[in-house]
Amino acid sequence: MMKLPRVHCGKCGRPVAAGPVAGRISKGRLWRHDAPGIRRDSDGVLVSCAGSLELVDIQLPAAQLELDLGEFGTEGTAGEPVEESALF
């Protein structure tokens, strides 16, 4: 399971999870969160913080996924090299 980095919202100051933005490794988008002290307006509609969905700098840049091949490494079961191919 992936843990998203927490970044302080520029509007309310609360620590909020920031999801990665495609093509921008050092940027993230704040998750939607409620405004502090106000959950609904006078009509009963949920109110989001004005800082929700803003682009922010992520302190820990994203890393490339690494696969652990365990005991096999780059060799097959008989000790022979495994043929490598592109995924896409």
For residue range 79-88, list pLDDT tens digits in order.
Answer: 566 677 766 6
Q: Which of 30, 24, 35 shows the shortest CA–CA distance to 6?
A: 30
Give me the residue label for tokens 């995924």: 87
Q: Per the domain annotation, does 27 fall within a domain?
A: yes
Q: Per the domain annotation, does 78 fall within a domain?
A: no
Q: How many CB atoms lie within 10 A of CB 9?
A: 21
Q: Per the domain annotation, does 38 fall within a domain?
A: yes
On the question of pLDDT at 27 being above 70, the answer is yes
Q: Per the domain annotation, does 63 fall within a domain?
A: no
Q: Domain span at residue 31?
A: 6-57
Q: Per the domain annotation, does 35 fall within a domain?
A: yes
**Which is it for the CA torsion 52, 55, 58, 63, positive or negative?**
positive
- Count how many domains the chain has: 1
What are the tens digits of pLDDT across the range 37-77?
A: 877 888 888 888 989 999 998 875 555 556 666 665 555 55
Q: Per the domain annotation, does 25 fall within a domain?
A: yes
On the question of pLDDT at 36 being above 90, the answer is no
